[in-house]
Structure 1
């Protein structure tokens, strides 16, 4: 698909651009939580404290209360199902595009274990109807779905956390990416769900074709240069499908090489990269920089490929990023107002790097409203599932 001279980028140049785009080269002085999440192309939020920290480390002066206010008071962020059917924070202003795009990607084959396509459609329609004007717990939503579909939807067939979930829960991710469901503020310890239209009057998913183009551009803006295989892995879709989407938007893309490998950027990003990657950052579980970042062998070099990945999967460990590359692990343990941070570096560090590492640990403590104490040592905790 190349139609002109192919620009060559070093891996260091790619890291420099991504760090800058993610507000990791230097935290933004002005960006809102929603603006930061937009720059990340979504923040993984299965573990909410990790999502909050992902946002907070990218913004100067952003607190946990700012992130929570954006979610539950201002409504500028939405917690819902995003790429790969996993829970994400997404900007409310972009939710129509996200749901229009994700609702059009090929469904995961595993869904067929529990539901036929027709059953999935019935459950999603039931969820949308039940949550149009209500905020319900899972138990309440179960009763509402059964009332609209039948007892078959509640059959306990899904293994989950040493119990069996009802059949309808296999469609929760689908309901989220189709715009029928998002998370509510919760009720005590119970999670709640509500329809996006309660936050965004008149909400509807955008048309599929333009929304998919929007998503491809947003991904390449944050993670380019990238290949269709990288995009496919991020979305958990077939590579052939991803290649077709790249082909459909050929006019907006430019081919480049990264360390000798062909990849793609937006045409507007095909210029020089003058910056050099620098800095040390402590990134929490499932931070988007490492989950969506590719190629894995360059982002997780050497010992990082075995210590900081879980069977090739990124995000299961909090990582230390040095000059844009994973060079260590870290772990936090809280006791009251004290936050013990253990950092394990995979290579020797100089005095200036150790000083910056200490400053970053202090910054984590400030965000979590705790007094941080940094210790260098081996991180031996298991990865997050």
Structure 2
């Protein structure tokens, strides 16, 4: 039997909630005067497994004229951004000054993030003692250096023991050294992030080089702040949505929300969406503001792979209505297709192919475009090309490549 929502709770409409999320993500209007770090802060990090997608995610939220070079300078020259392992143990661009928050919160998730349980021979891959030894060795080796994976393997083995270099971790066709199972854990402990590429080789370094002396916030403080920020940007939401966003246990998230509700940090509301009413949580006392719902919902936006807005926004079936749920999601997972937003919800997919300075963009709308929408799409494609320092060529038609192509 389905429990009816408490009628005494504040009632929020999906359209208002989505408008507020768009505004707080700087998708209703460009973040004039904001730098890449402040935009990354607002969206709670930019997924950077595909760096070009992270550059577009940030730059498309900034004022017209911004290019990928602005993001690169913030990352590699100013060190206002840091490339590291963020939510879900995946690569993100995060504001460097927020590392105490992120490391405090991510290291508090009750699981060994990114650590497979068994080695190839069935033995434990990293015991707690060995995990601590690897993290300490990584932090020391990277304190004043940028090292490739092979160089870091040698350095960790020298400090922790030869066992750390044993090629026993399952990885594609080869075995990776044992210590690599702790890569995301070391990042969440605040002793590892990405350094400058050396040719085609990735390097790692210690983020203390760019934010000297920082310490992870106390877990209870960091988690409270992260929940509040998540609910401000992507709420109202359920504990299960927060857990999915972090790749954390659902039961743990439910207990965390219950604790914060008891402390007056979060409160329940009723979300009216798609003809259904359900209880969800928001920051206590923080109503959707008129300035957020009054912001113009964008007629057309192009968002790249794994954009934070499409990954974190729930319920998915409302952001991906009708045919979009099947066409723009991969088995229910958001982010595997770049998406076309029409009036604030997913209304198509797109794909780009670069050849020299030419950027060939194919957009597949899932409903007919009015002349005004077509004009807006052409403008958006021009902006996409400008961000990537290229010349745009637009084709409106079927996207024939698969997910994450």
Category of TM-score, reference length = shorter chain: over 0.9
1:194 aligns with 2:205: yes
- Supply the distance in 2 between the matched residues of 1:358 and 1:10 (Cα, whole angstroms): 31
Would the aligned equivalents of 2:37 and 2:95 in 1 still touch at CA under 8 Å? Answer: yes
Residues 10-50 of structure 1: CA deviation (Å, up to 9, x unaligned): 22111100110011001111111000000001111111110
1:175 aligns with 2:186: yes
Change (3 A) 1:295 1:3: closer
Change (3 A) 1:209 1:4: farther
Q: What is the 5 A alignment of 1:1-385?
A: 5-60=8-63, 61-107=65-111, 108=113, 111-113=116-118, 114-250=125-261, 251-258=264-271, 259=273, 260-271=277-288, 273=290, 274-275=293-294, 277-384=297-404
Residues 70-104 of structure 1: CA deviation (Å, up to 9, x unaligned): 11111111110001110101101111111011111
Would the aligned equivalents of 2:237 and 2:280 in 1 still touch at CA under 8 Å? Answer: yes
Residues 122-146 of structure 1: CA deviation (Å, up to 9, x unaligned): 2111111111122111111000111
Secondary structure (helix, strand or coil) at the match of 1:132 reads coil
| Alignment RMSD (CA, Å) | 1.7
Secondary structure (helix, strand or coil) at the match of 1:249 reads helix
Secondary structure (helix, strand or coil) at the match of 2:41 reads helix
Secondary structure (helix, strand or coil) at the match of 2:116 reads helix
Secondary structure (helix, strand or coil) at the match of 1:111 reads coil
Residues 253-274 of structure 1: CA deviation (Å, up to 9, x unaligned): 2211222121111124324554
TM-score using structure 1 length:
0.96
- Supply the distance in 1 between the matched residues of 2:237 and 2:93 (Cα, whole angstroms): 23
Change (3 A) 1:38 1:372: same
- Supply the distance in 1 between the matched residues of 2:6 and 2:105 (Cα, whole angstroms): 28
Would the aligned equivalents of 2:114 and 2:184 in 1 still touch at CA under 8 Å? Answer: no
Residues 307-365 of structure 1: CA deviation (Å, up to 9, x unaligned): 11112211111111112211110000111111110000111221111111111011001
Shift of 1:291: 1.1
Would the aligned equivalents of 2:20 and 2:288 in 1 still touch at CA under 8 Å? Answer: no
Residues 213-270 of structure 1: CA deviation (Å, up to 9, x unaligned): 1111111121111110100000111111111211222102221122212111112432
Change (3 A) 1:111 1:159: closer
Q: Which runs of 5+ in 1 are unaligned?
A: none
Would the aligned equivalents of 1:319 and 1:326 in 2 still touch at CA under 8 Å? Answer: yes
Change (3 A) 1:7 1:137: same
- Supply the distance in 2 between the matched residues of 1:63 and 1:116 (Cα, whole angstroms): 45
- Supply the distance in 1 between the matched residues of 2:49 and 2:173 (Cα, whole angstroms): 19
More displaced 10-residue stretch of structure 1: 46-55 or 62-71? 62-71
- Supply the distance in 2 between the matched residues of 1:117 and 1:208 (Cα, whole angstroms): 19
- Supply the distance in 2 between the matched residues of 1:278 and 1:196 (Cα, whole angstroms): 37
More displaced 10-residue stretch of structure 1: 306-315 or 228-237? 306-315
More displaced 10-residue stretch of structure 1: 47-56 or 303-312? 303-312
Shift of 1:4: 9.2
- Supply the distance in 2 between the matched residues of 1:243 and 1:49 (Cα, whole angstroms): 35
More displaced 10-residue stretch of structure 1: 249-258 or 39-48? 249-258
